[in-house]
């Protein structure tokens, strides 16, 4: 009897453990939890704040340690820069982030996506997370950022910069001393001849 009860209890315990395992496996991954911050706080914490359009999204492969697994790099054409602190934002930059939103990444942003980046400077570009203030570009959010950081500076792409045109200037050879002095010498000579003529005419009288 006791053996039967033990077997029954074991079976029930096994079913409970199996059910718990299914529930754990079915539970969604823990979502990214961000501390609520204002745009001013995000701007203060960022090394660079800029808006731009994603030209390309590159998935980074993992190294031997797996530390780069799930990382993406965005090639971004910058259109306006609002903050540069200890770094320089050029016309085209690279911004890295986690692919998964559960790890506070920006995800796979498709080419053509207009975005506002609040980024930290890195050796080969910048890094941004969904908790740092980065988000899709909108007129309302741009106005909010400009209320904190001003209007920023417009980035001019290379193909829109004015072309430098060199104009050839004609150079004239300076006149020689003889050419410069000739008109004056002729005037002096005419004056002397006129004086001589006056004296000769006076002597004849």
Q: For residue 148, tell me if it sits in a domain.
A: yes
- Tallying the residues shown for the chain, one arrives at 205
Domain-located, residue 144? yes
pTM of the model as a whole? 0.61
Does a structural domain hold residue 137? yes
Q: Is 106 within the bounds of a domain?
A: yes
* Number of domains within the chain: 1
CATH code: domain of residue 109: 2.40.50.120
Establish if 194 belongs to a structural domain: no
For residue 50, what pLDDT is reported? 97
Does the residue 98 lie in any domain? yes
pLDDT in tens, 12-45: 455 544 544 434 344 445 678 898 899 999 999 9
- Residue 161 confidence class, pLDDT cut points 50, 70, 90: low
Say if residues 60 and 68 touch (Cβ distance below 8 Å). Answer: yes
The answer to whether position 19 is within a domain reads no
115: containing domain? 39-153
DSSP 87: S
Q: Measured between alpha carbons, how far is 30 from 105 in angstroms, rounded to an integer?
A: 13
CA 115 from chain center: how many Å?
11
């Amino acid at each position: 009897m006791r053996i039967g009860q033990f077997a029954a209890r074991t079976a029930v315990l096994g079913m409970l453990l199996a059910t718990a395992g299914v529930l754990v496996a079915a539970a969604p991954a823990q979502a990214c939890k961000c501390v609520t911050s204002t745009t001013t706080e995000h701007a203060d914490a960022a090394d660079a704040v800029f808006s731009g359009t994603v030209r390309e999204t590159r998935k980074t492969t993992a190294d031997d340690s797996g530390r780069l697994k799930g990382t993406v790099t965005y090639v971004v054409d910058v259109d306006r820069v609002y903050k540069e602190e200890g770094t320089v934002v050029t016309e085209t930059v690279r911004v890295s982030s986690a692919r998964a939103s559960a790890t506070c990444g920006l995800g796979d942003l498709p080419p053509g996506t207009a975005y506002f980046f609040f980024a930290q400077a890195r050796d080969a570009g910048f890094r941004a997370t969904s908790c740092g203030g980065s988000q899709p570009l909108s007129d309302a959010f741009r106005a909010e950022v400009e209320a904190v950081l001003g209007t920023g500076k417009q980035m001019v792409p290379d193909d829109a910069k004015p072309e430098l045109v060199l104009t050839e200037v004609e150079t004239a050879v300076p006149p020689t001393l003889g050419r410069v002095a000739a008109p004056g010498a002729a005037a002096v000579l005419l004056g002397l001849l006129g004086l001589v003529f006056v004296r000769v005419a006076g002597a004849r009288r």
